[in-house]
Chain A
Amino acid sequence: MSSPPVKPKRRLSLSSREAIWAYAFLLVPLAFFLFFRLWPALQSFRLSFFSWHVDPEMRNFVGLQYYREMWAEFVARGPIFQALRNMLFYFVLVVFGQVSLGLISALLLNSVTRFRSIFRAIYFAPYVTPAAAVAWVWGWMYSVNFGIFNKLLADWSDWVTGIGLPWLAIDPQPFLTSPTQALVAVSVVVIWQQLGFQVVIFLAGLQGIPKQFHEAAAIDGANGWHRFWKVTFPLLNPVLVFSLIISTIATLQLFDQVVNINFTDQGGPLGSTLTIALYMYQQAFEKFRIGYAAAVTVLLFAIIMLVTLVQLRLTQREVEY
């Protein structure tokens, strides 16, 4: 079929025009990302090589001095050593706690058909509660003399003593006022608060797994346990990877809960709950040592990047449906 000769038009095809429009709209968030995210992030690299002063002309190049200071403080087991060690504990406790509890809760929720959305809302509520409010309530619950946890322990101890088993009694616990328990206590709060987010992510992942696989496996005689390990778990892998990485990054940037739960001795007692992000904040905004704080930011950036890359390497596999 031959078409009549078309006069060459200068107009673009529909798809090109659509693409241009799409890019035009994408430019707005892109510009936002570049100017408000990437540019300041790059600035912090530069800042970390200069001593800080309000007047840019008074900022002196100090080379790697702040990095050397960080290293010296690390070797001397100063706050940065504490913060890094705490991060390791937070990472293990919070990420493992969040992901495993999130998965378990999502599996349970997935098997109920009634009131699922109500449950989902309940689980999600803590995630949208301000960290300051959460910290205040948990601070009271953890209170040594007035908190509900020690009240329960006291009641329990009274009861077991009453029935002649005093060796089962448990003393009141110091929780946030103990340098050895505080980090675990804060981790529990963080897990509780972030759990809802994980549950929603996992629920979405579970509902994305085609039903036929489970039906086929059931017909082949696989029990529930087998179906979970051989069908659900592998197919959930992309969600699991996402969830691991997101919770890892959030944990490495832990700040709000730690600041608010021990408001007058942030990161305490005795530095036992200090995080890198809080340490950076204190250096920048309490001591106005912005150059040094920038160097700490660069360190945090490097850690997050490294951990994320390792996680991606270890966990990401192709999933074929």
Chain B
Amino acid sequence: MKRVLLLLAVMVGFGMAAAQTTITYWQYDYATRVDAMNQLIAQFEAENPDIKVVHETFPYDGYPAQVAASIPAGQGPDVAQLFYGWLPTWQRAGYVVPLPEQYFDAAALDENFAPLVQAAKVDGTWYGLPTAVRSLALFYNLDKLREAGFDGPPATWDEFVEMATAMTVKQGNRFVEVGYGFAPTGQDHHLVREVLVRQFGGVPYNDDYSQVTYASEEGVEAFDFYTSWVTEHQFAVPEFVPGNNGYRDGFRVLENIAMIVDGSFAIGDVQRLAEFEWGVAELPTLDNGVKSNFGSFFMNALTPNATKDPAKLEAAAKFLQFVTSDDAMKLWLDVVGELPASRTLIADPELASDPVYGPFVRALDYAHATVFVDESGQRDVMVDAINAVVLQGQDPAAALESAAAAEQLLLDANR
């Protein structure tokens, strides 16, 4: 009798296993993100016992390469996370599929998600959804500001220059501490394009981002101002702290960088590692008070693997809906520290008045998400222009003009 029961149990077990749909989720490896996603998956599986989610992560740098190689072989993720700037590249090569209409109502998505999430569309079609959005702000070391005789962060760029200069320490002809963590490859290329150019009265691109327009008089002024932090004011030093994210390490760990411009994704790390009094402020403005910011997000998208059979597609769509729901966004905010992507959650007054999240939340109102066609290529163009000025002594106007020409070629080639 016992044996029969056991056999029955095994058969029922197999039957359940056969009815279960397994989907694979991929993202890059980042402790808090992995933790948050594991919690979400546990909740999702409890609500959907017939679906099993396999969660796999890869180091950030090798992540796109893993995706590039696995999906054509029919392996890898059904749902994958990607930076919105990668979308055009991935979409052109067929690595992501449009969100299926039977599960996602385009009009409702337009309604529910923050305006900058529109960048998850290609030619008007939704290709994925974010859990969180990010913007930029100024992180400052309050201890250092006080030591230098200031009682708070700069509100204008003039004050910024004054404070950063005062907090820069040299020994002979070598820098010991700097006022600003110069990071062209970090967030500074966004800072120049979407923040400074606009604050100086220019526009970086035309409305549909098909024409580069930052090489204007105002754009050159903005670019000249940014590069002068190294060339003229000398409170910023290229590659001051070596290594990946050196500017952030210099700020939060080594404490030899007094201020950095960074994204909201850095909040968690700074909270964890900084052993001094620090704060976050909205990016400074010029005297004209014009505010601007760069908004961005990582999105979750369905890959061709998910379309292989209807059960899989349904499971993947359900999972995507789940991880981009309001509840998931709240969990993500708590665990990762990234801002929710929904219009209603982001409008929460409590969040907007939070001393740490507040500056980022308020910035979302005036943030622009650059519509990229080749994010790494466009980034390199701006980084090279900055380096041509600060490392080679090229004239800023000439450097910006050749950058605009090079970026225009990229835009034209990929449309």
Q: Which residues of A contact B185 (CB under 8 A)?
A: 264-265
User: Is A54 in the interface zone, CB < 8 Å from B?
Assistant: yes
- In the assembled complex, the Cα of A150 lies from the Cα of B68 at a distance in Å of 41
CB of B174 within 8 A of CB of A145, answer yes
Q: How far is the CB of B306 from chain A (nearest CB, A)?
A: 12
8 Å CB interface, A132-181 against B: 136, 139-140, 142-146, 150, 154, 158, 171-172, 174, 176-179
8 Å CB interface, A52-89 against B: 52-56, 58
User: Is A321 in the interface zone, CB < 8 Å from B?
Assistant: no
CB of B89 within 8 A of CB of A179, answer no
CB of B242 within 8 A of CB of A139, answer yes
Could you say which of A54, A139, A271 contacts B93, with CB atoms under 8 Å apart?
A54
CB of A288 within 8 A of CB of B392, answer no
Q: Which residues of B contact A55 (CB under 8 A)?
A: 94, 304
CB of B243 within 8 A of CB of A136, answer yes
Q: Which residues of B contact A263 (CB under 8 A)?
A: 61, 243-244
- In the assembled complex, the Cα of A178 lies from the Cα of B387 at a distance in Å of 9
CB of B93 within 8 A of CB of A52, answer yes
Q: Which residues of B contact A285 (CB under 8 A)?
A: 64-65, 68
Q: Which residues of A contact B176 (CB under 8 A)?
A: 145
Q: Which residues of B contact A288 (CB under 8 A)?
A: 64, 68, 89-90, 92-93, 95
Q: How far is the CB of A287 from chain B (nearest CB, A)?
A: 6
Contact with A along B174-216 (1 / 0, CB 8 A): 1110000001111000000000000000000000000000000
Q: Which residues of A contact B184 (CB under 8 A)?
A: 265
CB of B392 within 8 A of CB of A177, answer no
The closest CB in chain B to the CB of A285 belongs to: B65
Q: How far is the CB of B251 from chain A (nearest CB, A)?
A: 15
CB of B388 within 8 A of CB of A270, answer yes
CB of A53 within 8 A of CB of B94, answer yes
User: Is B240 in the interface zone, CB < 8 Å from A?
Assistant: yes
Question: For the side of the interface on A, what is the size category?
Answer: 35 or more
CB of A143 within 8 A of CB of B239, answer yes
8 Å CB interface, A271-303 against B: 271, 281-282, 284-288, 290
CB of B93 within 8 A of CB of A176, answer no
Contact with A along B223-246 (1 / 0, CB 8 A): 000000000000001111111111
Given contacts A144-B174, A264-B244, contact A54 B388 (CB under 8 A): no
CB of A139 within 8 A of CB of B243, answer yes
User: Is B255 in the interface zone, CB < 8 Å from A?
Assistant: no
The closest CB in chain B to the CB of A79 belongs to: B380
User: Is A196 in the interface zone, CB < 8 Å from B?
Assistant: no
The closest CB in chain B to the CB of A171 belongs to: B173
Q: Which residues of A contact B246 (CB under 8 A)?
A: 264
CB of B237 within 8 A of CB of A145, answer yes
- In the assembled complex, the Cα of A265 lies from the Cα of B390 at a distance in Å of 15
CB of A269 within 8 A of CB of B174, answer no
Given contacts A171-B173, A288-B93, contact A177 B244 (CB under 8 A): no
Given contacts A52-B93, A177-B391, A286-B376, contact A150 B244 (CB under 8 A): no
User: Is B383 in the interface zone, CB < 8 Å from A?
Assistant: yes
The closest CB in chain A to the CB of B61 belongs to: A263
Q: How far is the CB of B82 from chain A (nearest CB, A)?
A: 11
Given contacts A136-B243, A287-B89, contact A269 B387 (CB under 8 A): yes
Could you say which of A145, A178, A281, A287 contacts B240, with CB atoms under 8 Å apart?
A145
The closest CB in chain A to the CB of B62 belongs to: A285
The closest CB in chain B to the CB of A174 belongs to: B391
- In the assembled complex, the Cα of A215 lies from the Cα of B238 at a distance in Å of 59
User: Is B377 in the interface zone, CB < 8 Å from A?
Assistant: yes
The closest CB in chain A to the CB of B172 belongs to: A154
- In the assembled complex, the Cα of A304 lies from the Cα of B237 at a distance in Å of 39
Q: Which residues of A contact B174 (CB under 8 A)?
A: 144-145, 150, 154, 172
Q: How far is the CB of A35 from chain B (nearest CB, A)?
A: 14
CB of B239 within 8 A of CB of A144, answer yes
The closest CB in chain B to the CB of A263 belongs to: B244
User: Is A102 in the interface zone, CB < 8 Å from B?
Assistant: no
Q: How far is the CB of B257 from chain A (nearest CB, A)?
A: 11
23 residue pairs of the A-B complex, CB under 8 angstroms, read A55-B304, A58-B94, A143-B241, A154-B172, A154-B173, A154-B174, A174-B391, A177-B239, A179-B387, A179-B391, A264-B183, A264-B185, A264-B186, A264-B245, A264-B246, A265-B184, A269-B391, A270-B384, A270-B388, A270-B391, A282-B376, A285-B65, A288-B89
9 smallest CB-CB distances across A and B, nearest first, come from: A54-B94, A285-B65, A264-B185, A139-B242, A288-B93, A286-B376, A263-B244, A53-B94, A145-B175
Other than the given A53-B93, A285-B65, 18 more pairs (CB < 8 A) read A54-B94, A55-B304, A56-B72, A143-B239, A145-B174, A154-B172, A154-B173, A171-B173, A172-B173, A263-B243, A263-B244, A264-B245, A269-B391, A271-B384, A287-B376, A287-B377, A288-B90, A288-B92
